[in-house]
Structure 1
Amino acid sequence: MSFAAQPDPAYAAMRDWMERWSDLEARLAALLLAPQEAGHFPARLQDIHHQADTLLALDADATLYWLFQLAASSPVGYSASHAMVCWALCRLVGQTLGHTEQEQTSLACAALTMNIAMTRLQDELANQTAPPTAEQRAAIDTHAARGAQWLRELGVRDAAWLQIVEQHHLTEAELPAPVRLLQAADRYAAMISPRETRPGRCVTDSSRHALIHQGHGVDDVGHALVRTVGICPPGSFVRLQDDRIAVVLRRSGRPAEPWVATVLDARGIPVAEPTLVDTGRDGDGIAAALVTQTVRVRLNHPRLLQLSRMALAQPR
């Protein structure tokens, strides 16, 4: 499905905003694939972080929408896409948990670089149908420690950044909150993303997985993540009570009642024009979360992001 081009400046602005995100993701992918060749690695990485922060500050819900759509739709360039989703989750939830600005910066940089020692392998595994080989498994098992060492050699001097990367796959019950937040974000983002061996899972499955801290029961950091992004976050697909299919655009004050836009009617036919829906109204509630790959529709993302902005002016 495609929508007619919108002639107004708002449409062009949303398209430009999306392109800026795509450019940042491409820059991150290039930096992670060849970090030793980049020169001035810490400054380059922090520049990506600061530019992403500027875009996030403009519209956090639009950021979640676009990054979740990119992550859940294709395994191509998985490592950078996964890092960006984890970065956004850590930024938003870190604010909710009251982390200091320095703690948030260290965590954000760790989220972008946690898998630096296996970037190429991570991209390969996303497209690989066979289980990891013994050699691949060994690289996976050691990538956190190797990643921290790589970062030291690349000039990173932020001890918290290095610690979070080094510890992000540990299973101890008493890990620092930033480490546990990155672990929860990592699990959540991995669950929604597709592999060649499986599609991404629906967001409610991902939320349940994020709540559990490495076999130690329900985690308060996981709870904060789900409270912050919502049960069905922007960018995910849902089936409404009347069987229409919609994409989530914007969170509300209630985690289970976001603003959505219809994209398929009850018969599964693409709609001519998406309609903004408040799922907090009687009869318009969410019946189920859906796996992205099961929804066969072409989205006009700038138009949907325009509708997302319109929700800000709607009374609830």
Structure 2
Amino acid sequence: MTFAAAPDPAYALMRDWTQRWSDLESDLARLLLHPHADSNFCTRLQTLQQQAHGLLQLDPDASLYWLLQLAASTSIGYSSSHALVCWALSRLVAPSLDCSPPQQLSLAHAALTMNIAMTQLQNTLAEQPHEPSAEQRAAIETHAARSAQWLRELGVTDADWLHTVELHHEPQDDLDTPTRLLQAVDRYAAQISPRETRAGRCVTDSGRQAVVAHSQGAVNAIGHALLRTVGICPPGSFVRLEDESTAVVLRRTDRPDAPWVARVLDAAGTTLAEPTLIDTRLDGCGIAAALVTQTVRVRLNHARLLHLSRIALAH
């Protein structure tokens, strides 16, 4: 099926979309790796958060597409990539859980900085070919409290921000909603990201973990809110369609199980010369299964796919 392109008022901004996100991720990585080297850490972090929020608001689906593609395709620079995915998911899901605007902002800052005391260790763990050593495990166990302490030393005075960072690995069910949400998106994002020791999981497995990790009450509801908001197969993930072809998800629809996708490989696994935009809500066009990113052998033309995503937005 062919869809005509309507005039797109955001086209000029979308032309350098991936570069703007890449530049922002690089700036965040530098800040998180050497936070004490920046005397204006809080101001710098808040500026980066505002820049990211501007991109997210311009096109949430294009943002998810790029961030999840980045997170699921490489373990290089894991810590900052993971922080941005958790940040974006938190930003998108928090309003549906009735978090107030101040709570949403504190949560956004917490998502970006929850692992600040182990940024380099996170990057190392993602790329090392063996399980963590005893010393590394000890650092992992204490990183939440140390991250909160680092943030205090760096001038953070927002009690909710510090509270969420300090408790983002605590297992109890009586935590506040922002902290429980951060725990859910942290698990979800970690599952889809590859390590040197394992491939990332497919998004349906990651989503299942987010929902069933805690089985009672509001914690479980947060997992469901995550899947309702971003979809069962969110933008940036790969899927196998009913006709056995492979597609990449571009944009959410009114149905969490039926997004807009672009077919990129035929049923034989051959790369298509031109990706095809598909509405999986239509009969015969549905999704058969989610795929692990590392199993899909294709080089994506992100600019072209983002253009198709904008076409889908107009339909």
User: TM-score by structure 2 length?
Assistant: 0.95
> Secondary structure of 2:20's match?
helix
Work out the CA distance in 1 between the residues paired with 2:220 and 2:90. 15
Q: Could you tell me which residue of structure 2 aligns to residue 183 of structure 1?
A: 183
Q: Using the alignment, how far apart are the partners of 2:38 and 2:87 within structure 1?
A: 21
1:231 aligns with 2:216: no
Q: Which residue of 2 aligns with 1:121?
A: 121
Q: Is the 8 A contact 1:11 1:303 kept in 2?
A: no
Asked if residue 130 in structure 1 is aligned to residue 123 in structure 2, the reply is no
> Contact between 1:33 and 1:119, CA under 8 Å: does it hold in 2?
yes
Q: 1:217-256 CA distances to partner (integer Å, 9 max, x unpaired)?
A: 8611111001100000000000000011000000000000
AA aligned to 2:313 is L
Shift of 1:309: 0.6
Shift of residue 216, structure 1, vs aligned partner: 5.3
Q: Is the 8 A contact 2:214 2:220 kept in 1?
A: no
How far 1:212 sits from its partner (Å)?
2.6
User: Alignment identity in percent?
Assistant: 67
1:54-203 paired onto structure 2 within 5 Å: 54-203=54-203
1:214, 1:231 → 2: CA distance?
Answer: 18
Between Structure 1 and Structure 2, how many residues are aligned? Answer: 307
Per the TM alignment, residue 200 of structure 1 is displaced from its structure 2 partner at its CA by 0.5
Whole-Å Cα distance in 2 between the matches of residues 312 and 72 of structure 1? 24
Task: State the partner residue of 1:3.
Answer: none
Match of 1:313 in 2: 314
Gaps of 5+ in 2: 1-7
2: CA distance, partners of 1:10 / 1:59: 9
Computed over aligned residues only, the root mean square deviation of the Cα atoms, in angstroms, reads: 1.5
1:39 positional shift: 1.2
| Matches of 1:53 and 1:209, distance apart in 2 | 27
Q: Which amino acid aligns with 2:302?
A: H
Q: Deviations over 1:102-144 (max 9, x none)?
A: 1000000000000000000000000011111111001000000
SS of 2:274's partner is coil
Paired AA for residue 47 in structure 2: D
For structure 1, which runs of at least 5 residues remain unmatched after alignment?
1-7
Structure 2 Cα separation of the partners of residues 98 and 165 of structure 1: 20
1:216/1:125 CA distance change after superposition, 3 Å: farther
Residue equivalent to 2:293: 292
Distance in 2, Cα, partners of 1:81 & 1:138:
23
- Using a 3 Å threshold, how does the CA distance of structure 1 residues 129 and 40 change in structure 2: closer, same or farther? same
What is the alpha-carbon distance in structure 2 between the residues aligned to residue 237 and residue 97 of structure 1?
A: 28
Q: What's the counterpart of residue 267 of structure 1?
A: 268
The residue number in structure 2 matching 1:222 is 223
CA distance in 2, matches of 1:89, 1:128: 27
